[in-house]
Structure 1
Amino acid sequence: MTRTVLCVDTEGRVDDVAAAVEADESLTARTATTVEAARETLEAEPIVCVVTAYELSDGTGLEVVGEIRDVAPQTPCVLFTDVQPAEIDTASFEQSIVEYLNRSLPDARDRLTFVVNDVIDYSAQASFIRPDDEDERLETLAKYDIDDLPIEDSFERLTDLIASHFDAAVSFIGLIEEEEENFLACHGGDLDTLTRENTICTHSMLQEDVMVVEDIMEDARFAENEQLQNLGIRSYAGANMTASNGQVIGQVCLLDHVPRSYDAEEQAELQDFAATAMEILELRQSVRDAERTEVAQ
């Protein structure tokens, strides 16, 4: 399977960069000449790496890095430019995998494919990406007495309903803890926990909207995930469970054993189910807090 690389540069230079990338038979190039076009491509198809110039017609390479962080934060980036590092705000690279390659070097074009493959491999091996406010998110999650709350039956009924509504093989509700995802209820599967680097929800929770992966085998982020393959998962849709303070603590998800898509209406319905799961959790916690207050008095 070839790796798709997005090359972002000016109209006069982008084709040359794409040709350099495709000198490696394992790589195929897509091109964009603006920050906005780069974002649209990142949203439209699985990209395993971005190679971007610094100076673009509608912005800079730093803005491309920002789009990567917002749209596909797991995607590594190579800043391929003759602008010197001292002139670039490298603080903007935080929470992103970014490599710098000076294109004015004599062998820069030949080295580009080596650097691209290197950052792709590093990204695949690196630990999962955590939200910028991970500490606050975990503090929010810790406020819920999950082990003591009477939510199992309610969540089991909810996942049964969700699976039936979407005619999906598997539906689950999972809370995303520090190192793993803890499945509170699951229809159609025997899921207990998965490490965060092995669960798609690690990526889904970073998106504001519902995340859909129509075919996992065609998505470079997950195609080689043996855990997902062992579970027979081919498609995924996940919606955030968001606490009242805006922190995402879990996901309500659909899995299927065949590739499938979800239209805008279905995605909105899945988000509604996630809101319902959050409301159940909030209600049970409120009742538990009230009981403790009465005992204390």
Structure 2
Amino acid sequence: MDAVTAAIEAEETLTADGVPSVERARARIADGDVAGVVTAYDLPDGTGLDVVEAVREETAQTPCILFTDVSPMEIDTAQFGDAIVEYLNRDLPDAYDRLGFVAEDVLNHAAQVGFLAPDDEPERLAALAEYDVESLPVEDSFSRLTDLIASHFDAGVAFIGLIEREEENFLACHGADLDTLTREETICTHSMLQEDVMVVEDIRADRRFSENNSLEAMGIRSYAGANMTTPDGHVIGQVCLIDFEVRNYDEGEREELQDFAETAMEILELRRQVRDESAEDTEVPA
């Protein structure tokens, strides 16, 4: 482990936290701010696949490097799922010399990719289309809701956004003049992949977002986002807080933000049902 840490830290831009087991790796990943993971395959309490699974549960887009002497033929790569995985054979003569270079290259590539879509993307987009938001009178309700959210959390900005095929469309925003962002630019592209509320305490310290020019131009330093999930289980949008200073949110605050996201979804669902019922009432029999 010391040799691996030293190989990674030989690159000026990288630092490494060495942990000896799957259990310790899971704890470190859950703490957040992990730009990438280098793991062996054989570990005292499991395998590198367990570490990859832990990454996928927290942030599917975080890249992983499997640094091992186990042949790829002996590894069930299907278990990698959505995690970005690079394989490097530890038995190569220059393996440790190459490790730092590969780690830096993989991290840079991961930071430059457009965005990862959820597994149910086609169904999710179809579910979003059913709400046909332009036909729903939600603007005033959502404006009042974002005002309330910003006040409740004493946050600089609160917004409600729907995540469409290529962009996030902001339906209401308190504290900033936001209309749309591409899915490459918005943090919600990452947040929507997580089951729980996603918090980024310091955007400048997170490699996924530190080079995001749009966020830098807006002066955004922290973020919290909760999923708006349809009754069928599709994430179609986010209710989010952004601030201009480094900030964390405790467990109670995260639960409250999720409650607000569920309220926003309930408003959308109610408006959709009223619209559909009204349309049925006005249909003229043939």
> TM-score interval w.r.t. the shorter chain?
over 0.9
Q: Distance in 1 between matches of 2:197 and 2:128?
A: 20
2:191, 2:197 within 8 Å by CA — same for their partners in 1?
Answer: yes
The normalised TM-score by structure 2 is 0.96
Does 2:80 align with 1:98?
Answer: no
Q: State the distance in 1 between where 2:148 and 2:232 align.
A: 27
Correspondence for 1:9: none
Correspondence list, 1:19-30, <5 A: 19-30=6-17
> How big is the shift at 1:151?
0.5
- Structure-to-structure mapping, 1:128-143, within 5 angstroms: 128-143=115-130
Shift of 1:206: 1.2
Query: Cα offset for 1:92?
Result: 2.4
Shift of 1:281: 0.3
* C-alpha contact 1:176 1:250 (8 A) present in aligned 2: yes
1:118 aligns with 2:105: yes
1:258 aligns with 2:230: no
Matched-pair contact (CA < 8 Å) for 1:39–1:71: no
> How far apart in 2 are the matches of 1:71 and 1:15?
26
1:93 deviates by: 3.0
Output the CA distance in 1 between the equivalents of 2:80 and 2:254: 32
Say which of 195, 209, 213 aligns to 2:196.
209
For the residues of structure 2 that align with 1:47 and 1:214, how far apart are their CA atoms? 13
Question: In structure 2, which of residues 111, 114, 120 is the aligned counterpart of residue 127 of structure 1?
Answer: 114
TM-score, normalised to structure 1's length? Answer: 0.93
Amino acid at match of 1:100: Y
Residue 204 of structure 1 contacts residue 239 of structure 1 at CA under 8 Å; is this kept in 2?
Answer: yes
Aligned-partner Cα distance in 1 for 2:149–2:186: 20
Q: Which residue, 143, 166, 187 being the options, matches 1:200?
A: 187
Which stretches in structure 1 are left out of the alignment for 5+ residues?
Answer: 1-13
Percent of residue pairs identical: 65
State the shift of 1:176 in Å. Answer: 0.7
Q: What corresponds to 1:8 in structure 2?
A: none
1:288 paired residue among 256, 275, 281:
275
Q: Given that residues 56 and 81 in structure 2 are in contact (C-alpha distance below 8 angstroms), is that contact kept between their aligned partners in structure 1?
A: no
- Between the two proteins, the alignment pairs up a number of residues equal to 284
Q: Which amino acid aligns with 1:195?
A: T
Task: Give the deviation of 1:291 after TM superposition.
Answer: 0.8
TM-superposed deviation, 1:82 = 0.3
The counterpart of 1:273, out of the listed 253, 260, 267, is 260
Q: Distance in 1 between matches of 2:250 and 2:98?
A: 42
Is contact 1:215-1:259 (8 Å) kept?
Answer: yes
SS at match of 2:169: strand
Give the match for residue 43 of structure 1: 30
Deviation at 1:171, TM superposition (A): 0.6
Counterparts of 2:250 and 2:129, CA distance in 1: 34
Query: How large is the Cα RMSD of the aligned pairs?
Result: 1.1
Structure 1: 4+ residue segments shifted above 4 A: none
Q: Following the alignment from structure 1 to structure 2, what is the Cα–Cα distance between the partners of residues 79 and 109?
A: 13
Distance 1:149 1:113 in 2: 52
Q: Residue 23 of structure 1: CA displacement?
A: 1.7
Structure 1 position 87 matched with structure 2 position 81: no
1:119-153 C-alpha deviation (Å, 9 max, x unpaired): 11111111211111111211111111111100001
